[in-house]
Amino acid sequence: MSEGPEVKIAADKISVALSNGITIENIIHNKISNEFKNKIIGSSVEYVRTFGKNIVIRFSSTVYLRNHMMMWGKWRIYDRENYENGSARPPPRSHRTFFYKQPKKELKNHDQTEKNEIIDVRKDSRARLTIVTADKVLVQFNGPIIEFSFVDPSTKPPISLLGPDGLKNDYDKDQVLSNLVAKSNRDKSLVISKALLDQQIVSGIGNKYKSEILFLNQIFPFISVTSLSQHDLEQLVLNIPKILNIGYINNGRTRLPSSSHEKITWDTTHWVFRRTGKQCWKCGSKILSEKKTTSRSTFWCPSCQFIRE
């Protein structure tokens, strides 16, 4: 699950590993042309930027790499020594991997289930892209979109069509508001939980942040956008960057522990997402979920999310 904040966290790590003029010694991808490969090898990275859920890497040789991780993509950065001696392990096959430490019990289960899995990352068929420097090996797993070009991807679709990015300093809340109004006027039945996933309205929000943002704005997920008041919509577009930034600053957590003694688990670090049947942190009601209305899972509190038709 790679939403704006998680993508930006990954991009930061890639940037640290590849910055300061470090030379790219090799790049491996099953569809890279010799022209791009030869240009990238021996060059360095000028910048790593995010646009919504896209990562763009610009090499000093004027080649651009665009990566979109979709639902299951992951980046891992290994010390080259560990990679070459076979001790670098690939990420687990479960899609529920988090940036923070897993509880011990889950780790134990992880190890047990992984006994039959590949433990040498070099033999993992999920590796799509490998970038090698003198000290590091960066591997991109699963992510289906990896494109090389000489044209800046941010100047052409899909990036050029993206709505404002809630993690950018120039986030334009008024533009998001007018995008929401324009799309909902064309489609009166557009519900807010679906609208927030439309990257052309606002970029960077995926299924997790959608549910968390609507909870924190007390908005029922299946209300149509046209039924929301101007005040509710204004508050919503104002709060989107705040909530995305909480996730970005806190390694994907949207709820911060209420005390230093609180155990850090998925349950304590999220308000509603993947908490079906658990008690709401604010009111104690049972969290609900469904995926029929918009074909994507939505989680909400039936008591706290009272702004409805």
| 135/262 with CB nearer Zn ion | 262
Shortest reach from residue 214's CB to Zn ion, in Å:
12
Shortest reach from residue 280's CB to Zn ion, in Å:
3
| 47/306 with CB nearer Zn ion | 306
Residue with the shortest CB distance to Zn ion: 280
Shortest reach from residue 150's CB to Zn ion, in Å:
51
Shortest reach from residue 219's CB to Zn ion, in Å:
13
| 141/266 with CB nearer Zn ion | 266
Cβ atoms 140, 127 nearer than 8 A: yes
Number of Cα atoms under 13 Å in the Cβ half of residue 228: 32
* Alpha carbon distance 285, 306 (integer Å): 13
| 157/284 with CB nearer Zn ion | 284
| 226/285 with CB nearer Zn ion | 285
| 45/280 with CB nearer Zn ion | 280
Shortest reach from residue 281's CB to Zn ion, in Å:
7
Shortest reach from residue 217's CB to Zn ion, in Å:
13
| 101/282 with CB nearer Zn ion | 282
Name the site residues for Zn ion (rule: CB under 5 A): 280, 282-283, 285, 301, 303-304
Shortest reach from residue 262's CB to Zn ion, in Å:
18
